[in-house]
Amino acid sequence: MLPIQKKKTMKKKPSDMPSLTISSSFSTSKQAVLFEGDCLKLLSKIPDDSIRLVVTSPPYNLGKSYERKGSLEKYLAWQDEVIAECIRVLHPEGSICWQVGNYVHDGAIVPLDIALYPSFAQRGLKLRNRIVWHFEHGLHCTRRLSGRHETILWFTKSDDYLFNLDTIRVPQKYPGKKYFKGPKAGQYSCNPLGKNPGDVWVIPNVKNNHVEKTSHPCQFPVELVERLVLSMTKEGDWVLDPFSGVGSSLAAALKHGRRAVGAELLPEYCKIARERMQQGTGGLLKSRPMNQPVYDPAKAGRSLTTYPTNQAETAKQLRLLDSGKKKYEVTHEDR
């Protein structure tokens, strides 16, 4: 009997990919738009009720390299102006997902989802979920608990909105569980497609060793956007990110056959965004697979997961902690 010959699969090369035309101005006939400039200028050119999903992570007014820190009042007023325009362009069956963290000033935090909620509610939008995005890595605070979550406010424009849960189901915890009584006794009780992912999403944030890392210091994970795109849009729908950064939202939309439009002020981020948008269309986008289990530190080896066993190592560690104590006391990272 002759052995079965396995088919060789050819890996896609950049030269094999169809080139995506990325326009700098909006038109409903386009597939992809990236405007280099103020998002309000872009929004003014988009017709009413034309965008199926708005998904973004705006600057938090923390003074990062890509933003200018101002008063909280001015920041909220600016955000309110952008939100009003996003609502105008949103399709009646569309959704807005506004991902934010905390504004920090003089040691006190202001949860931006709470501060921005009125901008949506007073315009008639309904909050469907307050999704908690949990991650393991970030700044280590010394005078408060270290922040390890941010939130996504999911609003809809009407009660008749698009939502396809089956596209984002996750593996069941107990797939073999059965009904133990009643007319369905003995039958499997789980949905064979998987379970509802809930409103707490454990997705690693993009740090230095992440496959998606670029030069942007606060990058959106593609997997997080994918869940929103797949469940709240259909192929061919428009996805808008008014604060595109390096194009994670736009690339995720194009990857799944949607149309993408966004704005970004910094030329260096626009350049990266264009490259990633091309990769998203061509199947070459580097991204963490959806629903991949979070990395287990135990797999890193004993040297990283066990405490020092000898006195010399313990003393060395304590000296390092003591030497850094004064530095941590004066740092503004946790204020």
Tell me, what's the pLDDT at 329?
45
Mean pLDDT score, 156-160: 97
Residue among 265, 270, 221, 280 at smallest CA distance from 246: 270
**Pairwise pLDDT comparison (286 vs 97), residue with the higher score:** 97
Mean pLDDT score, 146-174: 95
Does residue 3 have a pLDDT over 60?
A: no
Report angle CA 227, 56, 63 to the nearest 5 degrees.
135
For 175, list phi and psi in degrees, rounded to 5. Answer: -65, -20
CA distances from 151 to 132, 201, 280, 302 (A): 5, 10, 25, 34
Mean pLDDT score, 299-325: 67
The residue whose two tokens read 């230095």 is 208
**Pairwise pLDDT comparison (195 vs 299), residue with the higher score:** 195
Parallel, antiparallel or unpaired: strands 126-134 and 149-156 = antiparallel
Q: In whole angstroms, give the CA distance from residue 153 to residue 138.
A: 21
pLDDT tens per residue across span 5-62: 444 545 555 555 568 999 999 999 999 999 999 999 999 999 999 999 999 999 866 5
Read off the DSSP letter of residue 304.
H
- CATH assignment of 20-163+199-299, among 3.40.50.2300, 1.20.140.10, 3.40.1280.10, 3.40.50.150: 3.40.50.150
Q: In whole angstroms, give the CA distance from residue 16 to residue 21.
A: 16
Taking only Cα atoms into account, the Rg of the chain, rounded to an integer number of angstroms, comes to 23
Does residue 77 have a pLDDT over 50?
A: yes
Tell me, what's the pLDDT at 4?
46
Q: What is the dihedral of CA 151, 152, 158, 164, to 10 degrees?
A: -130
Residue 245 and residue 269 in contact, taking contact as beta carbons nearer than 8 Å: yes
Domain boundaries, the chain: 20-163+199-299
Neighbours of 269 (CB within 10 A): 21
Residue among 87, 91, 145, 148 at smallest CA distance from 116: 87
Average pLDDT, rounded, for the chain:
86
Res. 324 pLDDT band, cuts 50 70 90: low
Tell me, what's the pLDDT at 140?
85
Q: In whole angstroms, give the CA distance from residue 201 to residue 168.
A: 12
Residue 97 β-bridge partners:
55, 154
Q: In whole angstroms, give the CA distance from residue 84 to residue 308.
A: 56
Strand, coil or helix: 195: strand
Strand, coil or helix: 95: strand
Query: What is the pTM for the complete model shown?
Result: 0.83
Mean pLDDT score, 253-263: 97
Would you call 61 exposed, middle or buried from its count of C-beta atoms within 10 A (0-12, 13-18, 19+)?
buried
